[in-house]
């Protein structure tokens, strides 16, 4: 390993204000933005600084913008790394004044390695621990560490290796992670832990979790509020999995006509759950409307009516006459247990209106007894409303990608949620900043139909400016919910984002404006990479049916990071079962590196041209980003930047097609390496990590 020199700043005083860990972290942020846009401007400072842990608790992005205005700086002015550091120190002074504390040189380091005080909901923690103990009790690896004691820090200690998070994701959405990609040794080195967390976070995004403000280092340190927040999202996805027409077509009983069915398809799962609950409460004679899982259920009365309607054999009129809320809550839980609903919630949680736990409780009742009948006429209509497999997979991919961008609106169903144009404008503003004329846009809820058309017309106009193929396409096609056109537009938007990232990265590395990246460039890069690694596989194009066995992509992944593929578990891909094993492994290995991917194994097996292109481009972007990082960060991290992190790129835009997450990989790996040095890892481990990334 070459000697460590660190990050050097020409101004000695400026150098003295930071530790090396601070400088590494700050420079990684600076380089990431410059790599994506070709330069770093004053206007880039607010979104970068607001994501730093030193400031995230103190300022909003608008407050930082106002501060910069006071300094009379032109927002379009390009700044160098030292100016960036000075701006950081100025803001740090503001933070010190705001908090009434005293500034010291290690304040940033402390912010990065310690946890601010966040109140932990012990009841929620106990419920999540009970869930883990129940669903993972027979796991071959975790059963040695379970059951966890909710009164201790067992949960946080076990989570530090990353295995628990990966296993919990597979419980929520089976098959998301190929467990052959998880590092499950009893003692993991920092590098292996970071790999597990990278895999876990990228996979969490791939099932619909929001992880914009969470990094791998947060999980390595098991920051309680962040870890519990992520676990809560995973469990929520699990308990709400059946609340859609595809899984539970009987839900069509909740509506009366086709228009309402369309609305039902577009509802968030928790809204569907509320609709189901109110459907039964109305039939049971309950006169109130339940609009939330907190204040509206605190007295337990709605639960008593619901269970009396769903399980009259266990209940009766007497349960409705109980007046004391505590007594009623206890009775409700006793009735639920008779339906085999495990007691993850306490009477106190009901009375205090814990929204997360009450949501999980109602979802559990739905899973065990939904009380819906099978109306053959309505069922057949519901089946007509569902999409074919290919359309469903593409809708899922685009939905997850949009939600990973960190826009304000959460998309539950692409075909329904984009029809007012607002979501598409938000996405366009993320991938092409400044392109949207917001003064000409209408924010939901939109009552006037022509306002929706105006939004969608601007979407089409911007698409044409980006050279999308939109012949004879009008805004009204989106308003009308034309699925084919919506999917085509989103595909072009995703592809544009990917190619722009690659173009910006290449132009930055070459120090000049780069030419447009083409599909052929990506194809040639992949083939050359595999060939240089001494492999014989090649792909003729993104429709090459030979790709279905997965061997080419495993060889490509091995070419960009030799240590990441365990060839002992790779099959020849000759049977359909073997192809699926390889495809699942490919996706997990790519996520383990740091690529954010939303495709499914079927997309590889069936050689879906669009998803194959994105997969290849994602690996290419990750590989090129490592090369750029190695050349710019050679002195400060010995060339080791080959891990991923799932926090958004530093401007808050999680353009997560390729590994925009890698921007924080540098930060996380700097922290990991710092820990490795301080813990004096064995020479064998250190040399292993070095050879793996050389």
pLDDT tens, residue by residue, 446-502: 999 999 999 999 999 999 999 999 998 999 999 999 999 999 999 999 999 999 889
pLDDT at 531 over 70: yes
pLDDT value for 390: 85
pLDDT value for 255: 87
- 354 located within any domain: yes
pLDDT value for 259: 72
| Cβ atoms 660, 649 nearer than 8 A | yes
Both 253 and 376 in one domain: the answer is yes
- Please identify, among 342, 364, 383, the residue that sits at the C-terminal boundary of a domain: 383
Both 466 and 341 in one domain: the answer is no
| Domain count for the chain | 5
Mean of per-residue pLDDT scores for the chain: 82
pLDDT value for 646: 31
- 687 located within any domain: no
Whichever domain contains 441, its CATH number is 1.10.418.10
Cα separation, 411 vs 267, in Å, equals: 10
Where do we find the tokens 């930082």? 64
- 658 located within any domain: no
Note the pLDDT tens digit of each residue in 599-623: 999 999 999 999 999 999 999 999 9
Q: Could you give the residue ranges of the DSSP H alpha helices within 140-244? A: 154-159, 163-172, 190-206, 216-220, 224-239
Both 267 and 372 in one domain: the answer is yes
Both 311 and 207 in one domain: the answer is no
- 6 located within any domain: no
Query: Residue 679: pLDDT band by 50, 70, 90 thresholds?
Result: very low
**CB neighbours of residue 294 within 10 Å:** 14
Task: Report pTM.
Answer: 0.76
Both 379 and 282 in one domain: the answer is yes
Where do we find the tokens 């820090």? 153
Q: Percent of the chain having pLDDT more than 90?
A: 55
- 596 located within any domain: yes
Note the pLDDT tens digit of each residue in 27-78: 888 888 887 778 888 888 888 888 887 787 788 888 888 877 766 556 777 8
- 49 located within any domain: yes
Both 268 and 378 in one domain: the answer is yes
- Please identify, among 220, 241, 261, the residue that sits at the C-terminal boundary of a domain: 220
Both 254 and 374 in one domain: the answer is yes
- Of the two residues 10 and 435, the one the predictor is more confident about is 435
Q: How large is the average pLDDT for residues 17-27?
A: 76
- 663 located within any domain: no
- Please identify, among 450, 480, 504, the residue that sits at the C-terminal boundary of a domain: 504
Query: Residue 130: pLDDT band by 50, 70, 90 thresholds?
Result: very high
- Of the two residues 19 and 125, the one the predictor is more confident about is 125
Measuring CA to CA, how many Å separate 69 from each of 98, 297, 607?
Answer: 18, 47, 51
Of the candidate ranges 101-115, 600-614, 663-677, the one whose mean pLDDT is the lowest: 101-115
Both 379 and 286 in one domain: the answer is yes
pLDDT value for 165: 97
Cα separation, 312 vs 281, in Å, equals: 13
Report long-range pairs for 452-460 (Cβ below 8 Å, ≥24 apart).
452/419, 452/420, 452/421, 452/479, 453/421, 453/479, 454/421, 455/420, 455/421, 455/422, 455/424, 455/425, 456/419, 456/420, 456/421, 456/424, 457/421, 458/421, 458/425, 459/421, 459/424, 459/425, 459/428, 459/489
pLDDT at 652 over 60: no
- 640 located within any domain: no
Both 323 and 340 in one domain: the answer is yes
pLDDT value for 443: 94
pLDDT value for 592: 95
pLDDT value for 513: 59
Closest listed residue to residue 177, CA positions, set 592, 571, 563: 592
Both 548 and 560 in one domain: the answer is yes
Both 263 and 333 in one domain: the answer is yes
Both 534 and 482 in one domain: the answer is no
pLDDT value for 23: 79
Domain that holds residue 574: 518-634
Cα separation, 275 vs 254, in Å, equals: 7
């Amino acid at each position: 390993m070459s000697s460590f020199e660190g990050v050097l700043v020409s101004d000695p005083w400026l150098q003295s204000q930071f530790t090396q860990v601070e400088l590494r972290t700050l420079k990684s942020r600076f380089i990431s933005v410059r790599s994506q846009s070709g330069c770093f401007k004053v206007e880039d400072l607010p979104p970068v600084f607001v994501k730093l842990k030193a400031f995230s608790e103190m300022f909003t992005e608008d407050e930082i913008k106002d501060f910069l205005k006071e300094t009379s700086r032109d927002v379009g002015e390009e700044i160098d790394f030292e100016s960036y550091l000075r701006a950081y120190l100025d803001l740090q002074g503001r933070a010190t004044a705001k908090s009434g504390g005293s500034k010291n040189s290690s304040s940033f380091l402390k912010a990065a390695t310690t946890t601010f005080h966040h109140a932990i909901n012990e009841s929620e923690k106990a419920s999540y621990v009970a869930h883990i103990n129940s669903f993972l009790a027979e796991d071959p690896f975790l059963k040695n560490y379970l059951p966890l004691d909710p009164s201790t820090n067992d949960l946080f200690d076990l989570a530090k290796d990353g295995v628990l998070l990966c296993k919990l994701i597979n419980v929520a959405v089976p098959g998301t992670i190929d467990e052959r990609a998880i590092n499950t040794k009893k003692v993991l080195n920092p590098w292996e832990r970071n790999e597990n967390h990278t895999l876990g976070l990228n996979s969490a995004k791939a099932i619909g979790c929001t992880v914009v403000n969470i990094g791998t280092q947060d999980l390595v340190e098991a920051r309680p509020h962040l870890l519990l927040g992520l676990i809560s999202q995973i469990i929520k996805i699990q308990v709400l999995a059946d609340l859609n027409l595809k899984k539970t077509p009987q839900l069509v009983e909740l509506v009366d006509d086709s228009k309402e069915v369309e609305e039902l398809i577009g509802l968030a799962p928790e809204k569907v759950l509320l609709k189901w609950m109110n459907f039964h409460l109305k039939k049971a004679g309950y006169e109130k409307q339940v609009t939330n899982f907190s204040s509206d259920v605190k007295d337990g009365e709605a639960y008593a009516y619901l269970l009396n309607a769903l399980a009259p054999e266990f209940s009766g009129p007497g349960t409705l006459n109980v007046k004391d809320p505590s007594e009623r809550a206890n009775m409700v839980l006793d009735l639920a247990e008779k339906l085999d609903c495990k007691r993850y919630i306490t009477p106190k949680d009901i009375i205090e209106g814990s929204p997360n736990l009450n949501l999980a409780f109602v979802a559990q009742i739905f899973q065990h007894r939904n009380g819906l009948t099978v109306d053959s006429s309505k069922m057949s209509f519901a089946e007509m409303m569902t999409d074919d497999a290919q359309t469903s997979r593409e809708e899922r991919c685009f939905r997850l990608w949009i939600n990973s961008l960190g826009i304000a609106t959460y998309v539950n169903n692409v075909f329904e949620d984009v029809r007012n144009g607002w979501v598409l404008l938000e996405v366009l503003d993320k991938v092409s900043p400044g392109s949207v004329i917001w003064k000409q846009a209408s924010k939901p809820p939109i009552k006037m139909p022509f306002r929706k058309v105006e939004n969608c017309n601007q979407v089409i106009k911007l698409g044409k400016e980006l050279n999308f193929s939109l012949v004879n396409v009008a805004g009204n096609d989106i308003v009308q919910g034309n699925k084919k056109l919506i999917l085509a537009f989103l595909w072009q938007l995703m592809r544009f984002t990917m190619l722009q990232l690659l173009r910006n990265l290449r132009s930055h590395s070459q120090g000049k404006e780069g030419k447009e990246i083409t599909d052929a460039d990506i194809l040639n890069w992949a083939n050359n990479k595999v060939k240089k690694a001494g492999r014989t596989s090649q792909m003729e194009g993104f429709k090459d049916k030979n790709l279905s066995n997965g061997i080419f992509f495993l060889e490509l992944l091995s070419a960009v990071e030799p240590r990441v593929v365990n060839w002992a578990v790779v099959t020849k891909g000759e049977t359909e079962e073997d192809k699926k094993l390889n495809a699942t492994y490919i996706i997990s290995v790519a996520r383990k590196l740091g690529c954010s991917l939303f495709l499914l194994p079927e997309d590889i097996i069936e050689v879906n041209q669009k998803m194959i292109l994105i997969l290849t481009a994602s690996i290419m972007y990750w590989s090129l980003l490592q090369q750029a990082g190695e050349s710019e960060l050679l002195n400060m991290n010995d060339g080791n930047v080959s891990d991923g992190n799932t926090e958004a790129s530093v401007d808050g835009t999680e353009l997560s097609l390729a590994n925009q997450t890698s921007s924080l990989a540098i930060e996380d790996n700097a922290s990991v390496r710092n820990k490795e040095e301080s813990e004096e890892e064995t020479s064998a481990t250190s040399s292993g990590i070095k050879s793996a990334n050389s």
